[in-house]
């Protein structure tokens, strides 16, 4: 979205009410971000309207000053600048100015205006007149286009959820978005937040939330806050709905933000008969310093491991009889090799290890690092399989000779992907086998599907070793697996443990790092 940065090169001579750009030169760069904030404060945030001459100067300055801004998109740019919740009167004033000149605001401009209405809605209830304006804009846009593009659908959704009685008109628009793309986080979150705010639309909200996560979209904080705010007004349903929320977060391995954690703490104060919530940290070996309980082990059950092992070859290594980056002959050769040489204590991704400290190093250095990692496990009496590629035969003979003498070695063709072979060998070797790689395996986890993905991630956390660094003396520092749960879950004694991060991110990391901040939460019957 355009914002005040687009005015970075504008000059504003002639006092606080006159905006002009040079006719012969590109506008000059303003000196600092402080000046930008001053411009935003003086000319947009503190004013309810501008005169027709002022709006004309703003448009002219933008069009003349920026090659990517023209007469077609300048109006949407300006409304993008006036996007704050307090700037709704100014945004409406600009649209009125356009109409006064005989210009008809285009779809992009009206879509931006709906966003400003939505921003205002999140700070105060909109008046009936403002809601009528939203409906009028939405109806005009839908009347003009039988099918709307995804961006227009999203803008209308943000407008409609700001209304009291007509927000469900946005549901067909979400379906319309699916024709050309996956609906955005913003569209899903806006509708789910609205549904959670209605006491009779809880099931719709949960359906949208599940759908959003399965589409690999991370729900915004406002979705959870809407549910928690409603539960504060409906204590009778709080325990059941909170249990459902916690199970959802556990199932999808979601880390909530500090904003959501603080709201949970407040809810505990508001509903002391339903729940107890305290901030906590973890001690050694995953012990909660509040309830003194150890977090649950991350290990999966024998039945879960069996399901994971059986499904892996079909869903990851082979997909619909199309061998991914390999051949049927190579897969068969590899399976026969594993059957003959397994079980192993650890399976090593040779190329991944060798490149861990830089891919541009000489082959001799790469081979020496791989040999050092093999030695690390050999000294611990571990039976090792190293997976690599054919071109590694050309590496340092002495280092590769050590690898061959102290580990099983299987080399795939140079175009193959190592990860599926690595994971298959590890799984086939048994539930106690570990693997060594820095790869986070996101694609493979996704291909396993919604039911098996969380099981795979738990298995991965328990069994994945990786190289942190190699010191100047040649000693390697290995990151060992963390054996306790790192996501929302319930301890044996019944209390829930909820990790949280500082701020929301649409693309959270998949690395297995212990969260610094936790809540200890007990639901009361």
Question: Taking Cα atoms as reference points, which of 328, 356, 317, 322 lies closest to residue 448?
Answer: 317
Q: Encoding tokens for residue 151?
A: 């961006």
Higher pLDDT, residue 494 or 403:
403
Question: What is the spatial distance between Cα 522 and Cα 293, in angstroms, rounded to a whole number?
Answer: 12
In a domain? residue 401 = yes
| More confident: 489 or 58 | 489
Last residue of a domain, one of 65, 96, 121: 121
In a domain, 151, yes or no: no
Domain of residue 55 covers 35-121
Is 285 inside any structural domain? no
Q: Is 60 exceeded by the pLDDT of residue 23?
A: no
Render pLDDT for 238-284 as a digit per residue (tens, 0 to 9).
999 999 999 999 999 999 999 999 999 999 999 999 999 999 999 98
Q: Taking the model in full, what pTM does it have? A: 0.84
State the pLDDT confidence band at 508, using cuts at 50, 70 and 90. confident
Q: Which residue has the higher pLDDT, 301 or 36?
A: 301
- Of 55, 90, 121, which closes a domain? 121
What pLDDT shows up at residue 40? 59
pLDDT at 474 over 90: no
90 belongs to a structural domain: yes
Query: What integer pLDDT is reported at residue 140 of this predicted model?
Result: 95
Tens digit of pLDDT for each residue in 222-237? 999 999 999 999 999 9
Domain count, the chain: 2
User: What pLDDT sits at residue 155?
Assistant: 97
Residue 414: per-residue pLDDT: 66
Residue 190 in any domain: the answer is no
pLDDT at 357: 82
Whether 410 shows a pLDDT value over 60: the answer reads yes
- Asked if the peptide bond before residue 194 counts as cis, ω within 30 degrees of 0, the response is no
417 or 331: which carries more pLDDT confidence? Answer: 331
pLDDT band for position 419 (cuts 50, 70, 90):
confident
Give 42's pLDDT tier (boundaries 50, 70, 90): low
Asked whether residue 261 is assigned to any structural domain, the reply reads: no
pLDDT of residue 6: 43
5 confidence band (pLDDT: 50, 70, 90):
very low
**CATH number of domain containing 350:** 3.40.50.11980
Contacts of 418 (CB under 8 A, 6+ apart): 349, 350, 351, 352, 387, 388, 389, 412
Q: Per residue, what are the HEC states of 377-412?
A: HHCCCCCEEEEEEHHHHHCCHHHHHHHHHHCEEEEE
User: Interhelix angle for 453-463 vs 302-312, to 10°?
Assistant: 100
Residue 341: Cβ-neighbour burial (10 angstroms; 0-12, 13-18, 19+): middle
In a domain, 393, yes or no: yes
Tens of pLDDT, residues 111-128:
999 999 999 999 999 999
Looking at residue 92, its pLDDT comes to 96
Q: Which of 439, 455, 479 is the last residue of a domain?
A: 479
State the pLDDT confidence band at 69, using cuts at 50, 70 and 90.
confident
pLDDT > 70: percent of the chain: 89
The model's confidence at residue 420, banded by pLDDT at 50, 70 and 90, is: confident
> Residue 13 — pLDDT band, cuts 50, 70, 90?
very low
pLDDT over 50 at 147, yes or no: yes
- The SS3 assignment for 38 reads helix
Residue 253 resides in a domain = no
């Amino acid at each position: 979205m355009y914002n005040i940065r687009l005015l970075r090169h504008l000059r504003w001579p002639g006092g606080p009410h006159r905006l002009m750009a040079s006719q012969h030169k590109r506008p000059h760069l303003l000196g600092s971000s402080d000046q930008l904030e001053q411009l935003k404060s003086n000319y947009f945030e503190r004013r309810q309207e501008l005169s027709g001459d002022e709006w004309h100067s703003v448009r002219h300055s933008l069009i003349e000053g920026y090659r990517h801004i023209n007469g077609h998109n300048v109006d949407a740019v300006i409304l993008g600048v006036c996007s704050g919740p307090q700037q709704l009167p100014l945004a409406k004033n600009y649209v009125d100015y356009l109409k006064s000149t005989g210009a008809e605001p285009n779809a992009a401009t009206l879509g931006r205006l709906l966003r400003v209405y939505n921003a205002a809605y999140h700070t105060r209830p909109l008046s009936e007149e403002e809601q009528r304006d939203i409906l009028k804009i939405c109806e005009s846009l839908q009347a003009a286009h039988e099918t709307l593009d995804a961006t227009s659908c999203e803008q209308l959704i943000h407008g409609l959820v700001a209304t009291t009685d007509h927000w469900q008109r946005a549901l067909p628009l979400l379906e319309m978005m699916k024709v050309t793309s996956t609906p955005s986080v913003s569209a899903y979150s806006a509708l789910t937040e609205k549904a959670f705010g209605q006491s009779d639309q809880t099931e719709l909200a949960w359906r949208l939330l599940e759908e959003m996560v399965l589409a690999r979209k991370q729900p915004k904080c406002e979705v959870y806050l809407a549910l928690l705010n409603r539960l504060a007004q409906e204590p009778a349903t709080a325990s059941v709905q909170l249990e459902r929320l916690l199970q959802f977060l556990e199932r999808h391995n979601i880390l909530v933000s500090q904003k959501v954690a603080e709201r949970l703490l407040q809810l505990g104060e508001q509903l002391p008969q339903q729940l107890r919530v305290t901030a906590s940290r973890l001690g050694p070996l995953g012990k909660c310093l509040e309830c003194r309980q150890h977090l649950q082990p991350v290990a999966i059950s024998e039945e879960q491991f069996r399901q994971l092992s059986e499904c892996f070859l079909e869903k990851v290594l082979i997909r619909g009889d199309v061998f991914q980056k390999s051949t049927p002959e190579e897969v068969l050769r590899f399976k026969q090799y594993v059957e003959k040489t397994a079980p192993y204590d650890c399976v090593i991704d040779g190329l991944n290890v060798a490149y861990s400290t830089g891919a541009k190093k000489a082959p001799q250095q790469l081979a020496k690092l791989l040999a050092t990692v093999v030695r690390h496990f050999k000294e611990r009496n571990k039976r090792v399989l190293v997976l690599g590629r054919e071109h590694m035969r050309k590496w340092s003979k002495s280092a590769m000779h050590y690898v061959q003498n102290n580990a099983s070695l299987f080399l795939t063709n140079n175009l193959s992907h190592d990860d599926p072979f690595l994971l298959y060998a590890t799984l086939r070797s048994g539930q106690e086998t570990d693997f060594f790689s820095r790869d986070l395996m996101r694609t493979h986890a996704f291909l396993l599907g919604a039911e098996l993905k969380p099981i795979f991630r738990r298995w991965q956390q328990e069994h994945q070793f990786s190289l942190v660094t190699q010191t100047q003396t040649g000693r390697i520092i290995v990151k060992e697996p963390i054996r306790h749960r790192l996501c929302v879950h319930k301890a044996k004694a019944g209390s829930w443990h909820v990790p949280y991060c500082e701020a929301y991110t649409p693309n959270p990391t998949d690395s297995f790092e212990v969260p610094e901040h936790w809540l200890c939460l007990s639901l009361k019957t």
